[in-house]
Amino acid sequence: MTFENLLVTTENQIAQITINRPSKLNALNKATILELHQAFTSLEQNPDVRAIIITGSGEKAFVAGADISEFANFSVEEGAQLAAQGQELLFDFVEKLKTPVIAAINGFALGGGLELAMACHFRTASDNAKMGLPEVTLGVIPGYGGTQRLPQLVGKGRAMEMIMTASMIDAETAKEYGLVNHVYKQEFLVEETLSIAQKIVKNSPVALSKAIKSINAGFKHDVDGYDVEIRNFGKCFGTEDFKEGTTAFLEKRKADFKGN
């Protein structure tokens, strides 16, 4: 698949999506959101892809926000539709993806950019990264899940302060808050994130997908996460990956998981 706004590569069972709009600091417009949906859909359906890294082109920005020119004149209904469609097509979609997704934040991750990073399963950042949700400076609020995911990751008080002040935090602060797991020098960000992904792809794809689903369930108010875990734990016992994993352990060899 070829894209106008993305670069997608796959090597050693790890895919890398690079948002490639450097002149716009990789800002998310409708076309890019649609392309990201298509790329993630295609990669999830590819059995040879067992982890996905998403980053931005250049050294300045992961994603500097949404393309404001696209919605500056929207009505109330159009604004609500914009948020609903974006969440369904990309942000909720990425969060629920069966394949592990890591955001490698290489610079500014603002507004929709930080919301995209937060929708990923976890995040790494370059030492020059800056993160924030500045929407209130435009007279609007985060609409792609930011008011929900940020408190889950950093706590209610810190999320309230970040959103209300529209302030940016640096990479080390983001790590202290639990917003990112690791901070690396800019030039080593993708390489170090790849090393984490390489550890992930050695494990059972079936078990990874069920772990993602079970962890996500714990953050849904209308779902019993423990019950979801119990059911997914049980389902693992009916998979070839479980047979291979336990047999390999007992035979003192490395498991060769097929993902079924």
| Catalytic center residues | 115, 135
| 206 token code pair | 């079936």
User: Which segments within 178-251 are labelled E, that is strand?
Assistant: 182-184
User: Which segments within 144-195 are labelled E, that is strand?
Assistant: 169-170, 182-184
Enumerate residues 6+ apart whose C-beta is below 8 A from 18: 6, 7, 8, 9, 54, 55, 56, 57
- Cα(162)–Cα(169) distance, rounded to whole angstroms? 8
What b-and-e string marks burial along 104-134, b requiring 16 or more CB atoms within 10 Å of the CB? bbbbbbbbbbbbbbbbbbbbbbbebbbbbbb
The HSE-up count of residue 149 (CA atoms within 13 Å, CB side) is 27
| Residues facing residue 53 across a β-bridge | 16, 102
| 10 token code pair | 């796959």
